Chain A
Amino acid sequence: MTVLEMRDVVKEYRLRNGLRTTPLRAVDKVSFELQPGRTIALVGQSGSGKSTIAKLLMQLERPTFGAILVNGEPMRYRGAGAAAYRKAVQMVFQDPFASLNPYHTIGHHLARPVRLHHPDFNGAQVNERVLDLLRRVRLEPVEEFARRKPHELSGGQRQRVAIARALAPEPAILVADEPVSMLDVSIRLGVLNLLATLQREENLGVLYITHDLATARHFSDEIMVLLRGEVVEHGPADDVILHPQHEYTQLLAQAAPAPERRLTELGVVPHR
């Protein structure tokens, strides 16, 4: 059980221009709380600060102001506290073609985190764990998949390996940065549905970073809309999409492709 909270977090980068520096506020006073079993979607244009928030949560950046709290305690950056944090929070990256090492087998990719987080396991136990992970992301027959190299897998299968790798340390929270945007449309739903099933099984808290409003709405409980680092709207998924309050959310919702809108314009009643 881990509750992750961001409280008024600000991240500033310094832009250097000759001798002068100007601050760029990439994340501006963002607050939210990620509960186990819940999904928060983070939507916004490119450059709105979505990935900076992911970096802050992965401890790749430190906040300029504000605090990130884990179960009410400030986040630790060193020592045992940091190790426990890294075990509890895992990430699924955007590009499954770049995030797996082409030289190593799938089994190796999954065995590494298992060994790191369970130094007491012997070889057979590690192997059993790896096969179990593959079974959970439904890459069967598991022994065969463990032996394969990344290039022998399709994009969707690779992304499932990435999900299995993130699940290896038994995390409580998953940060998914555009997990399906590089995948073919016909398998996107499959991967998202798998993620949702695993979330339910493990009671994971998920931060789903995306620019696709439609999947954000159906996949998450809450949606946060980010504009130039600031959260301009935050609420239950259906409310934010169907009754957007802020003009930027309205702009986003209107920009998304919606065939129904054209049908209404043409005066055809959709019946699907």
Chain B
Amino acid sequence: MTPDTVLSIENLSIDYLAETTVHAVREVSLTLQRGEILGLAGESGCGKSTLAYGITRLLKPPALITGGRVVFSSREGYDIDLSSLAGEDLRAFRWDKIAMVFQGAMNSLNPVLRISEQLEDVFITHRPELGKAERRARCGELLERVGVDRDRLRAYPHELSGGMRQRVMIAMALALEPQVLIMDEPTTALDVVVQREILREITRLRSELGFAVIFITHDLPLLLEISDRIAVMRAGLIVELGDAVTLYTKPEHPYTRRLLSSFPSLTGRRGGFVRNAVPGDDIALDETEQTVEAANAEEMEAL
């Protein structure tokens, strides 16, 4: 492990012990460098959220980590194997070193509590030595840091727009200055303009605070724009990992190519679009199950 590595995942496997065992994550190995944005792309059901929950040990049965380990190397120079933590240690570790912005974060605020109470909760749990006044002040600073006015502290979640709620969630994740931030589809429910603002905010905060980000989404063009490296996941495996530019210009794996071609480009060519094609030329118009299965078989062979 190089000194710049903050998180290294080694051969991590996660199964769901349902009627038939589902191998959701299969021997995934990844390293996350300090201050890096690592994109994790893939369609729903490919195991990307399960991987994120596995890193933070948030999985509940029937999910089970069947192999591998996750090692966190702190800035202060010690390593922690996450599977060795339990109980109070795990609880203290979680938000402090690795924080998470959850999927559908807009709906994960408690509707009956003011923003201030929910933000202060983090400090009450993790920094019990702080006095009330100082807690308040810290919460105010946090909100300002993500671009929300300080007096919004007294607001209830429903009084804020979707973008503002998302910012509050990011503020909450940043409260303890974690070294790793996992963001699970943080902008999916937002419209493009707000999404752009949030992305700018994330890149700005990263350069200010120097945390590393694992950014999970199915929106590949977005990842190509903001990440340093991208991992493409399919059926629990990482099929391709590379820096953003290489992945975009020279995709190796057929699945990456298919994923890239399913996004029509805004200014460039039409991608897979065939709206004005000649009638009779429309065999590939619709992805029927057969064509998808054929493509899948081809891709699995290449694995």
A contacts, CB < 8 Å to B: 45-46, 138, 140, 184-194, 196-197, 200, 211-215, 217-219, 241-242, 251-263, 266, 268, 270-272
A194 touches B285 (CB 8 A): yes
Q: Smallest distance from the beta carbon of A144 to chain B beta carbons, Å?
A: 12
| A193 close to B266 (CB less than 8 A) | no
Assess the B287–A271 pair: CB atoms within 8 A. no
With a CB–CB cut-off of 8 A, which chain B residues contact A260?
Answer: 265, 267-268
Chain B residues with a Cβ under 8 A of chain A = 43-44, 162, 191-196, 218-222, 224-225, 244-245, 248-249, 258-260, 262-268, 270-275, 279, 282, 285-288
Query: Could you pull out 11 A-B pairs where Cβ atoms are within 8 angstroms?
Result: A45-B194, A46-B162, A185-B43, A185-B220, A189-B273, A217-B266, A241-B267, A256-B192, A258-B225, A258-B266, A259-B224
Contact B192 A268 (CB under 8 A): no
Q: Among A138, A190, A259, which residue has its beta carbon within 8 angstroms of that of B248?
A: A259
Tell me the nearest residue of chain A to B222, going by C-beta: A257
Chain A residues positioned under 8 Å from B224 (CB to CB):
257, 259, 262
- How distant is the Cα of A255 from the Cα of B191 in the complex, in angstroms? 9
Chain A positions within 8 Å of B222 at CB level: 257
Residues of B within 8 A of A266 (CB): 245
B196 surroundings in chain A (CB, below 8 A): 254-255
- Residue A189 contacts which of B191, B244, B249, B271 (CB distance < 8 angstroms)? B271
Chain B contacts for A252, CB-based, 8 A: 192-193
Cβ–Cβ < 8 Å partners of A196 in chain B:
274-275, 285
* Contact yes or no, B195 A187, CB < 8 A: no
How many inter-chain contacts with C-beta < 8 Å in the A-B complex? Answer: 120
Pick the contact of A45: B43, B193, B263 (CB < 8 A): B193
Are B221 and A187 within 8 A (Cβ)?
Answer: no
A195 to B135 CA separation, bound complex (whole angstroms): 55
The answer to whether B271 and A255 have CB atoms under 8 Å apart is no
Inter-chain contact B262/A185, CB cutoff 8 Å: yes
A253 touching B266, Cβ below 8 Å: yes
Q: How many angstroms between the C-alpha atoms of A217 and B162 in the bound complex?
A: 26
Contact between chains at B249 and A272 (CB < 8 Å): yes
Q: Which of A192, A215, A262 sits near B225, CB closer than 8 Å?
A: A262
- Given A211-B191, A262-B224, do A271 and B249 touch, yes or no (CB 8 Å)? yes
Contacts A46-B162, A184-B44 hold; do A213 and B266 have CB atoms under 8 A apart? yes
Q: How near does chain B come to A180, taking the closest CB pair, in angstroms? A: 11
Q: Hey, which chain B residues are within 8 Å of A46, CB to CB?
A: 162, 191
Residues of B within 8 A of A189 (CB): 262, 264, 271-273, 287
Q: CB distance B249 to A270 under 8 Å?
A: yes
Could you tell me the distance in whole angstroms from the C-beta of A265 to the nearest C-beta in chain B? 10
By the criterion CB–CB under 8 Å, are B274 and A214 in contact? no
Of the candidates B259, B260, B267, B271, the one having the most CB atoms from chain A within 10 angstroms of its own CB is B267
Checking A215, A217, A219, A263 against B249 with a beta-carbon cut-off of 8 angstroms, the contacting residue is A263
| Alpha-carbon gap, A153 to B277, bound state (A) | 29
Q: Contacts A193-B275, A258-B267, A262-B225; is A211 near B262 (CB within 8 Å)?
A: no
For the complex, give the distance between the alpha carbons of A219 and B272 in Å. Answer: 11
Whether the pair B225, A261 counts as a contact (CB closer than 8 A) is: yes
Q: How far apart are the CA atoms of A127 and B138 in the complex, in Å?
A: 66
- Closest residue of chain A to B251, judged by CB? A272
CB distance from A159 to the nearest CB of B (A): 12
Asked if residues A138 and B286 are in contact (CB atoms below 8 Å), the reply is yes
Q: Is there an interface contact between A184 and B191, defined as CB atoms closer than 8 Å?
A: no
Given A218-B275, A259-B248, the answer on whether A197 and B285 have CB atoms closer than 8 Å is: yes
CB A178 to nearest CB in B, in angstroms, measures 11
Residue of A nearest to B245 (CB): A268
Chain A residues near B260 (CB, 8 Å)? 272
- Chain A nearest CB from B270 CB (Å) reads 5
Closest B residue, CB atoms, query A258: B266
B288: which A residues are within 8 A, CB to CB? 138, 140
Residues of A within 8 A of B192 (CB): 45, 211-213, 252, 255-256
When distances are taken between beta carbons in the complex, the residues of chain A under 8 Å from B266 are 213-214, 217, 241, 253, 256, 258
B contact residues around A242 at 8 Å (CB): 267
* A-B pairs with lowest CB-CB distance, top 10: A259-B224, A190-B287, A255-B196, A257-B221, A257-B222, A255-B192, A218-B273, A196-B275, A214-B266, A194-B286
Contact A186 B259 (CB under 8 A): yes
Say yes or no: A193 contacts B274, CB within 8 Å: yes
Contacting pair B193 A193 (CB below 8 A): no
* CB-based contact B193/A255 at 8 Å: yes
What is the bound-complex CA distance between A211 and B271, given in angstroms?
18
CB distance from A148 to the nearest CB of B (A): 13
Q: A46-B162, A260-B265 are in contact. List 14 more A-B contacts (CB 8 A).
A: A45-B192, A46-B191, A185-B259, A191-B286, A193-B285, A194-B285, A197-B286, A211-B191, A214-B266, A218-B264, A256-B192, A257-B225, A260-B267, A263-B249
Known: A252-B192, A255-B196. A218 touches B268 (CB 8 A): no
State how many angstroms separate the Cβ of B151 from the closest Cβ of chain A: 21
Within the assembled complex, what's the spacing in Å between the Cα atoms of A257 and B260?
13
* Bound Cα distance from A262 to B249, whole angstroms: 12
